Structure 1
Amino acid sequence: MEKDIYYLVGQNIKKQRKLKGLTQLQLANKTFFSYEFIRKIESKSACRNTFSLDTLSKIALALGVDIRLLFDPLDDDKMA
């Protein structure tokens, strides 16, 4: 089943944040977004209009990754 794009992006942000060894609070501080906003983006219930491309650009910059990485399929969606 295809995942919602907001769920996909949120899970990729969470994955990249953890790979960088950052907490949600640390990422919030680096992006100047609130901890609650980062938590909401990463939640499994992230809803439409939660974030914009500008927001994703700032998060990708703070994580040191290309924004396109945030749209990669999740591991459980990849075919072998």
Structure 2
Amino acid sequence: MVNSIRPWCGLRRLWQPRKPLWEPRDAENDQSDRAFPEAGIITMMPSWHEENDNPGKFEMFYCEINDLDADGENLAKLT
């Protein structure tokens, strides 16, 4: 069996900083991605331009996709 990286990208534009991945949430409404790393799945959760005090202007995937590509390449080197 060949292992491969299976990318999936979601865009949640909350207009506010996300709660940190490790912060507990209400179990009845846990919409976080926390279950993936807890299950041992390698998970990359970049924040987009203008989120969480990142520089730049949010451009709806114009520059963000370039950043995501570079992040994915760096992640692949770690696995």
TM-score by length of 2: 0.28
Q: Which has the larger radius of gyration?
A: 2
TM-score by length of 1: 0.28
Which one has more relative contact order, counting CA pairs under 8 Å at least 6 apart? 1
Of Structure 1 and Structure 2, the greater helix share is in 1
